[in-house]
Amino acid sequence: MSNPIAYPVFRTTDPVLALHVARQLVAVGDRRYAKVSVDVELRTAGEVLRIREALPDAWVRKEDVEGWARDPSDPTGLHGGVHAPELSTDLAFLSSHLPLWASMEYRPLGSVEEEFAALVGPNIGEIWWSSLIWPDVPDRGIYREADNARVSLLFNCRTTELDERADDHTVLVHVRRRNRDGTEERHASWLAEEIGQSVIGPPQE
């Protein structure tokens, strides 16, 4: 089983422009099976309530694995995820479990991207498009790829681990990780060139 490797191809402080470029990249691939997912970190109770109201179909979770291990019964439900309409609005409760994450996964293309980009604000967040199919380019030694064909847009962050806050937004293209012999970067570079961009940094795995 292969794994994806991601290359940054665009960076800007403008979230609307970042989304535009990410969508251009998505359009390079075959989108017939593609889905879009979103995820955002919420560091205040007020932000949780704002996103709960704006994205009522989101699921809210806590990622404190150590805390979950100490309390395997998880009475809050937050380690498995709580559907936004069922999430408590008690500020003291929410504050005691921060940061929380809100996500919506595998939605139809075009169903949530613009709304989410407008909502993410200063928070670390991500939109990712999966189940794309990158095309064959045999004269460049590039071949059809489905399993690892993805695009991601990181808000206020530069790493796919979503663990380093930044003042800008980064678009990454994901391709199949092979033998690190240059094939991956050549594939990522070709995809970026198709939308007038280029690889701008080292890969992330």
Q: How does pLDDT run across 153-197, given as a tens digit for each residue?
A: 999 999 999 988 999 999 999 999 877 777 899 999 999 999 999
Asked if 47 contacts 122 with a C-beta cutoff of 8 angstroms, the reply is no
Q: Please tell me the predicted confidence (pLDDT) of residue 1.
A: 43
Q: Please tell me the predicted confidence (pLDDT) of residue 66.
A: 63
Using 50, 70 and 90 to split pLDDT, how confident is the model at 152?
very high
Quote the radius of gyration of the chain (alpha carbons, Å). 18
What spatial distance separates the first Cα and last Cα of the chain, rounded to whole Å? 15
Q: Please tell me the predicted confidence (pLDDT) of residue 131.
A: 96
- The single-letter DSSP state of residue 44 is S
Using 50, 70 and 90 to split pLDDT, how confident is the model at 41?
very high
Whether pLDDT at 122 is above 90? yes
Q: Please tell me the predicted confidence (pLDDT) of residue 3.
A: 86
Q: How does pLDDT run across 130-148, given as a tens digit for each residue?
A: 999 999 998 888 888 898 9
Q: Please tell me the predicted confidence (pLDDT) of residue 139.
A: 87
Q: Please tell me the predicted confidence (pLDDT) of residue 68.
A: 55
Cis-peptide, bond into residue 56, ω within 30° of zero: no
| Residue 52 in tokens | 């709960």
Residue type, 100: L
CA distance linking residue 176 with residue 135, whole number of Å: 13
Q: How many CA atoms lie within 13 A of 167 on its CB side?
A: 0
Burial 49-79 (b: 16+ CB within 10 A, else e): bebbeebeebbbbbeeeeebeeeeeeebebb
Q: How does pLDDT run across 110-120, given as a tens digit for each residue?
A: 999 999 999 99
Using 50, 70 and 90 to split pLDDT, how confident is the model at 76?
confident
